[in-house]
Chains A and B, each alone.
Chain A
């Protein structure tokens, strides 16, 4: 029994990215991060070690067009959500013969017959209002419930993840609360000694 939308092994292997280097950013090898979340298919985020995203692909074994669901999921994960525009999402259908003989045979044998739909999200570098270059970054910190996509300058010295920086006040708050508790305890201890 296979989970709805998940891919058979030969198909998964055929759709693996050949790798490559970060284009016009750092020339370091791009790595693919795979995960399943929100939708039944698999997400592939291809990014360099600095977090600059080359392309995000959503792959599902289905007959329907998952573009709208992909857009909604990406908008939930992107700050600001307006970075996810309809014309940056492009669908491709993989029928089997173009994926190699093993994948072709596996796909032909599966019932009901369906193709593999891939939705690509590619956001090209753009200029912000202050004329500085912006690129799409992704943050996969374990503390985030889902990946966080955001635009930042590739030369920025600080990690610009808005979810990480949103966490700062609360952790600072905890520290302050901790400090005040410690201070109160110290104060309480001092009282009897007075």
Chain B
């Protein structure tokens, strides 16, 4: 059950540098979203050993886990400790993932989070 007092705390994008759905698209959109939410932004690169383990755990526990999981995956951490999976890239053209980001920006969910905190 979500507590109304919870606030967004950090936005994370799990990505790889070679993925066109991730770089530059999801880095740019992730930064924009974190600005709108007023939270810090971080990326976790699955090809960097130190970040890979954190990314794998985040995906395994809160995201869309598969043996060779999809990227990008976007997570929002809340002040009450919850981690919310927001978006997984589309296994189609980059334009489809871009549209998903745009829809997220226009969503009732984002408006509600910005107005009231937890939706």
Contact = CB atoms under 8 A, between A and B. Distances in A.
Interface residues of A, number: 27
Contacts of A89: 66
A87 B68 CA distance: 5
Contact of B109 (A18, A90, A92, A104): A104
> Is chain A's interface secondary structure helix, strand, loop, or mixed overall?
mixed
Contacts of A104: 103, 107-109
B92 interface: yes
Interface residues of B, number: 28
Contacts of B109: 96-97, 104
A55 B89 CA distance: 14
B66 A98 contact: no
Quick one: which of B65, B66, B101 has the most chain A CB within 10 A?
Answer: B66
Contact of A98 (B69, B70, B107): B107
Nearest to B112: A97
B5 interface: no
B88 interface: yes
Interface of B: 64-70, 85-93, 95-96, 99-101, 103-104, 106-110
